[in-house]
Structure 1
């Protein structure tokens, strides 16, 4: 390392770090935008089966309450 340089990193290293930070920020922003446009995957229970109700589930009550 030359004695004329200041700091622990060279100019090229700081420039590479800045580019890496900008690219990571762009990827994160793009992921957030894509997430807003898409619905979560329900896997095999998606589409038609997502609205199917299970009998007795809405009427289910706990057997005993300790409170």
Structure 2
């Protein structure tokens, strides 16, 4: 749990910020290809859930549980 607080959460926060910036830059291209929802999920939603929703110290399989979220 200590490693989660000191290492994983800050890395998750940075990933969320960088993913959001990358998604904004990529949005015109993903709109043309029709993959903007998938790009948003991978670049913004997953890192945000990893950082803010996941239980403290809970790592295994966190992305698989969100694969079932309806699009």
Q: TM-score, normalised by structure 2?
A: 0.31
Of structures 1 and 2, the one with the larger relative CO (CA 8 A, separation 6+) is: 2
Structure with the greater alpha carbon radius of gyration: 1
Q: TM-score, normalised by structure 1?
A: 0.32
Q: Which has the higher helix share?
A: 2
